[in-house]
Chain A
Amino acid sequence: MKTILLMEDNPYDARLIIRLLEILGYRMLHATEANVGLQMAMQERPDLILLDMGLPDLDGQTVAALIKMLPELTDVPVVVVTAWPPDTARQMAEAYGCAGFISKPINVKDFALQVTSFFRDSSGK
């Protein structure tokens, strides 16, 4: 079973994302602040991190930069989940070494497929 860490402070978005991915059998971890999320990431070594760009204690870019600098986590794909315009989201995701981005509001129909495509082996299993 693959583990996904969701760093998202918006309770509505978090609830929806967790529900969509748990149905597909993923083990979901959730943090509403970067500080907690980084600790969880270090302890649990998730297979994928979904990262909201606006967290209450630290912004998403800095979190992405920190993840990429930690040897234990540098290989974990980080996917930005953001309401930013796509061009900005793409540019920031690339600059900060993220695997890609998913736009908010998420498309319920496509979301699981989008997430799966970011796993290292692409099968999502």
Chain B
Amino acid sequence: MIPLLAGSPCLDFYPPADEAVTLLPASRFTLEQLTEAYNQTRIDYIVPMPMNVARLREYIHIYDVDLDLSGVAMADGEMLGLAMLGVRPGYTWITRLGVLPTTRRRGTGEMLMRYLIGHSCRLRADHIILEVIQHNEPAYRLFLKLGFVEVRELLVVRRPPGPPRVEVPPYLARLLPSSTALELLAQRRSIPSWLDEAPSLYKAGYMAGLMVELENGGQGWIVYQNTIFQLGRMVLQTEAGDPFEVGRALLHALYTQHPLLDTKMENLPADDPHWPAMQSFHFLETFRRVEMRLDL
């Protein structure tokens, strides 16, 4: 453990003293206990996003969650809440923060946040990222209070199964094997959220890709995850031409190839130039998140 330097702004982030509540590393608990606690903290959410043990295990793996640095708040032998910390070189990500509905408004969420911020400071992280569902005002206010600032809005979008039902100009499409698709990520110009950063996509697996060339010279590629039930984790990039036109050709090729699969995409930047093309292919916005950042 690296000691904090005197005068570091990180010194402000030690958890406030509350003798009734103990903060413990999440690694002291089983995945079953963590899953149960996580689901209980979200039971009254509009978008609860529950998990089972298998999904939580996968989440921890794909998103580099460090359970030794993640926290569980306990009082009288009961779990009050938890929060997890993803760690990648140079920065961290706070996720799965939740407090039981019956024990909210007592500062438990803030204690957990300060615990994770403190760990990030000790890791000498440059900054911390998190996402909050738009209109979750209590959480948003807490993050502002702790010094986080808004970065951008991220969309969670869906497209029900079905072949392309729109006409697009002629194009040539080429399917790419997983290894080639992943190599393309090194050329990505858009700034991904934690969920779609290259380390996440490498670990998520089942990645594939497509390239298209239009007669007018437009070119682009899409890298996506293709699981048994869903397409997702899409990264679209236009190399030449109009992103709307190239995006539509990419989506046309994708859904000609995979007409029966549902699509879920999380954390698409709201200003992504391909979003209008996706909307024209019947993508629907489910809800928005706000990405926030704290510079340390």
* A residues apposed to B, CB below 8 Å: 9-10, 12, 33, 54-59, 61-62, 65-66, 69, 83-85, 88, 91-92, 95-97
B109 smallest CB distance to A (angstroms):
21
Given A56-B51, A62-B229, A95-B160, A69 contacting B260 (CB threshold 8 A): yes
A–B complex contacts, Cβ < 8 Å, 8 sampled: A10-B43, A56-B39, A62-B264, A65-B161, A65-B262, A66-B262, A83-B46, A92-B158
With A62-B264, A95-B284 as given contacts, are A56 and B55 in contact (CB-CB < 8 Å)? yes
A84 and B46 within 8 A (CB) = yes
Interface check B47, CB cutoff 8 A: yes
Chain B, 23-56, contact with A by CB distance < 8 Å: what is the 0/1 string?
A: 0000000000001000100010111111110110
Contact status of A62 and B262, CB under 8 A, knowing A57-B54, A92-B158, A95-B158:
yes
Q: Are A91 and B161 in contact (CB under 8 A)?
A: no
Interface residues of B (CB under 8 A from A): 35, 39, 43, 45-52, 54-55, 158, 160-161, 229-230, 260, 262, 264, 282, 284, 286-287
Q: Does B52 contact A57, Cβ atoms closer than 8 Å? A: yes
A91 touches B284 (CB 8 A): yes
Q: By DSSP majority rule, is chain B's interface helix, strand, loop, or mixed?
A: loop
| Contact present for A59 and B264 (CB under 8 Å) | yes
Q: A9-B39, A88-B286 are in contact. Are A69 and B46 (CB under 8 A)?
A: no
Chain B residues with CB under 8 A of A91: 284
Cβ A97 vs Cβ B160 within 8 A: yes
Quick one: which of B48, B161, B264, B284 contacts A69, CB cutoff 8 A?
B161
Q: How far is the CB of B164 from chain A (nearest CB, A)?
A: 15
B-side contacts of A10, CB under 8 Å: 43, 48
- Shortest Cβ gap from A99 to chain B (Å): 15
**Cα separation A12 to B44 with both chains bound (whole Å):** 11
Q: How far is the CB of B259 from chain A (nearest CB, A)?
A: 11
Chain B residues near A66 (CB, 8 Å)?
229, 262
Query: What's the Cα separation between A105 and B60 when bound, in Å?
Result: 31
Instruction: For residue B252, give the distance in angstroms from its CB to the closest CB of chain A.
Output: 19
Q: Provided the pairs A58-B229, A61-B262, A69-B161 are in contact, do residues A9 and B286 lie with their beta carbons within 8 angstroms?
A: no
> Which residues of A sit under 8 angstroms from B54, Cβ to Cβ?
57
Instruction: Determine the residue in chain B with the shortest Cβ distance to A55.
Output: B50
Q: How far is the CB of B96 from chain A (nearest CB, A)?
A: 14
Pairwise interchain contact B50-A61, C-beta atoms closer than 8 A: no
Partner of B160 from the list A65, A84, A88 (CB cut-off 8 Å) is A65
* Contact between chains at A54 and B160 (CB < 8 Å): no
Q: A88 vs B47: C-alpha distance in the bound complex, in angstroms?
A: 12
- The verdict on A56 contacting B47 (CB below 8 Å), with A69-B161, A92-B286, A95-B284 known, is no
List the B residue with the shortest CB-CB distance to A11: B43
Name the contact of A54 in the complex, choosing from B35, B49, B260 (C-beta under 8 A).
B49
Name the distance in Å between A90's Cβ and chain B's nearest Cβ: 11
Q: Which residue of B lies closest to A85 (CB)?
A: B46
* A96 and B161 alpha carbons, distance in the complex (Å): 8
Question: With a CB–CB cut-off of 8 A, which chain B residues contact A54?
Answer: 47-50
Across the interface, which residues of B come within 8 angstroms of A9, CB to CB? 39, 50
Q: Are A61 and B158 in contact (CB under 8 A)?
A: yes
| Chain A residue at smallest Cβ distance from B45 | A83
Contacting pair B52 A33 (CB below 8 A): yes
A84 and B47 within 8 A (CB): yes
**B158 CB to nearest A CB, Å:** 6
